[in-house]
């Protein structure tokens, strides 16, 4: 019995030793990546990961590496990597100047950078002239927007965050502002939803640029870059290049309304057509929510008179979002429409 116990103990110890060697050989490596909040691509700590952060996690996991994210302003992160105090950071546009100072991975994904203006203060033509002459341009600290835009904004007014730069555009402290399209749409939707239709891109000025992992110019930094590049090539060769898509679906801006009764018209009537035969009429409860799909001509166009009866009675096209007829597309008189 004693002999059996000793043999069993030796067998267990030997098995644990072999398992330990196997586990060590296959243990997942860890890497800390510097980044900062850049929604919807890199979301804040505690929130669900942005689309670009998820992609990087997939690439490093393919190489059996576990990613840990450490948040610092991008300007500081870049200098830390450049000075070889930290290993790697993400995401960055590639520039000739920076390419001499840090290592760049192959393109991880691409975005479009555009120039935006506030149509409350400028016309499209005036905004384009302001950009061409490099007058009153804003930019975010530590950001690169691609080679051609960077040249124009080199002397721009610097802001710490996109939100502060966009606030300056609303306040007319600057005339134009470069920003990545997905990032601009995110901030307008999230932080300035009631003013988002004031901001427009300047026509014909756009720069599509790739984003990369950067690493220190050291053997360890080169190893990080090699892992990213290998994962990108391997996944692409296996037909999974669609993983690099980080496009963010942006819903179109729409007018949402509540349907209301008015004096002399205690019921709201929706009709299936403006005119013609076989029109169907529906009684709609007060407070029904609707999306305006087409405003009537008398709402859109100016009038030579201030007599409003015909304007009130004109029909706009809506899609019902609530009530017993939800989903129906009907025509409703303007006097029943109250924007929310």
CATH code for position 170: 3.40.190.10
Confidence class for position 141, pLDDT limits 50, 70, 90: confident
Give me the pLDDT at residue 150, please.
87
With 0-12 CB in 10 A as exposed, 13-18 as middle and 19+ as buried, what is 13?
Answer: exposed
Instruction: Tell whether 117 and 204 lie within a shared domain.
Output: yes
Least confident of 17-31, 88-102, 117-131: 17-31
What residue numbers bound the domain in which 57 lies?
Answer: 26-109+212-244
Let me know if residue 220 belongs to a domain: yes
- Under DSSP, the state recorded for 253 is P
Instruction: Tell whether 101 and 219 lie within a shared domain.
Output: yes
Instruction: Tell whether 230 and 102 lie within a shared domain.
Output: yes
Instruction: Tell whether 284 and 140 lie within a shared domain.
Output: no
Mean pLDDT score across all residues of the chain: 86
pLDDT greater than 50 at residue 116? yes
Q: List Cβ neighbours of 331 (8 Å cut-off, separation of 6 or more).
A: 270, 271, 272, 273, 274, 315, 316, 317, 318
Give me the pLDDT at residue 244, please.
55
Let me know if residue 7 belongs to a domain: no
Domain count, the chain: 3
Give me the pLDDT at residue 305, please.
82
Instruction: Tell whether 101 and 45 lie within a shared domain.
Output: yes
Is 93 strand, coil or helix?
Answer: strand
Half-sphere exposure of residue 103: CA atoms within 13 angstroms, side-chain side: 20
What pTM did the predictor assign? 0.70
Q: What are the pLDDT digits (tens) for 32-91?
A: 999 999 999 999 998 888 989 999 999 999 999 999 999 999 989 999 999 999 999 999
Let me know if residue 12 belongs to a domain: no
Give me the pLDDT at residue 56, please.
94
pLDDT greater than 90 at residue 282? yes
Give me the pLDDT at residue 242, please.
55
CA distance 231 to 225: 10
Better-scored residue on pLDDT, 318 or 237 = 318
- Under DSSP, the state recorded for 166 is H
Instruction: Tell whether 77 and 216 lie within a shared domain.
Output: yes
Confidence class for position 205, pLDDT limits 50, 70, 90: confident
Taking residues 166-179, report their average pLDDT. Answer: 95
Taking residues 218-246, report their average pLDDT. Answer: 83
Better-scored residue on pLDDT, 40 or 16 = 40
Better-scored residue on pLDDT, 249 or 59 = 59
Taking residues 319-339, report their average pLDDT. Answer: 93
Q: What are the pLDDT digits (tens) for 291-306?
A: 899 999 988 888 888 8
Contact 59, 234 (CB under 8 A): no
Cis check: omega of the bond before 167, within 30 degrees of 0: no
Instruction: Tell whether 35 and 59 lie within a shared domain.
Output: yes
Instruction: Tell whether 185 and 266 lie within a shared domain.
Output: no
Let me know if residue 9 belongs to a domain: no
Give me the pLDDT at residue 228, please.
95
78 backbone dihedrals φ, ψ, rounded to 5°: -60, -45
Confidence class for position 290, pLDDT limits 50, 70, 90: very high
Taking residues 4-21, report their average pLDDT. Answer: 45
Residue bearing tokens 């999974």: 240
């Amino acid at each position: 019995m004693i002999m059996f116990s000793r043999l069993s103990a030796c067998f267990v110890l030997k098995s644990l030793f072999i398992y330990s060697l196997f586990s060590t050989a296959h243990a997942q490596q860890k890497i800390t990546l510097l980044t900062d909040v850049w929604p919807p691509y890199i979301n804040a700590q505690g929130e669900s990961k942005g689309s670009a952060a998820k992609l990087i996690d997939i690439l490093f996991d393919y190489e059996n590496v576990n990613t840990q994210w450490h948040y610092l302003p991008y300007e500081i992160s870049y200098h830390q990597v450049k000075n070889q105090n930290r290993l790697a950071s993400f995401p960055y546009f590639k520039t000739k100047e920076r390419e001499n100072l840090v290592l760049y991975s192959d393109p991880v994904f691409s975005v479009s950078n555009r120039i935006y203006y506030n149509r409350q203060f400028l016309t499209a033509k005036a905004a384009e002239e302001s950009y061409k002459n490099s007058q009153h341009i804003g930019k975010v600290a530590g950001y690169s927007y691609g080679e051609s835009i960077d040249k124009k904004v080199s002397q721009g007014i610097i802001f710490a965050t996109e939100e502060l730069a966009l606030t300056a555009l609303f306040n007319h402290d600057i005339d134009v502002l470069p920003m990545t399209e997905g990032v601009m749409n995110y901030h307008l939707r999230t932080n300035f939803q009631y003013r988002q239709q004031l901001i427009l891109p300047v026509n014909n000025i756009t720069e599509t640029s790739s984003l990369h992992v950067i690493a220190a110019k050291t053997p360890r930094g080169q190893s990080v870059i090699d892992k990213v590049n290998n994962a990108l090539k391997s996944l692409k060769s296996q037909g999974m290049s669609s993983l690099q898509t980080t496009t963010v679906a942006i819903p179109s801006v729409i007018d949402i309304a509540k349907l209301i009764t008015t004096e002399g018209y205690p019921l709201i009537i929706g009709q299936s057509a403006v005119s013609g035969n076989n029109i169907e009429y529906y009684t709609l409860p007060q407070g029904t929510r609707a999306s305006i799909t087409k405003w009537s001509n008398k709402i859109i166009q100016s009038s030579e008179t201030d007599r409003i009866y015909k304007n009130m009675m004109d029909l706009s096209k809506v899609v019902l979002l609530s009530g017993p007829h939800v989903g129906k597309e009907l025509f409703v008189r303007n006097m029943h429409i109250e924007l929310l």
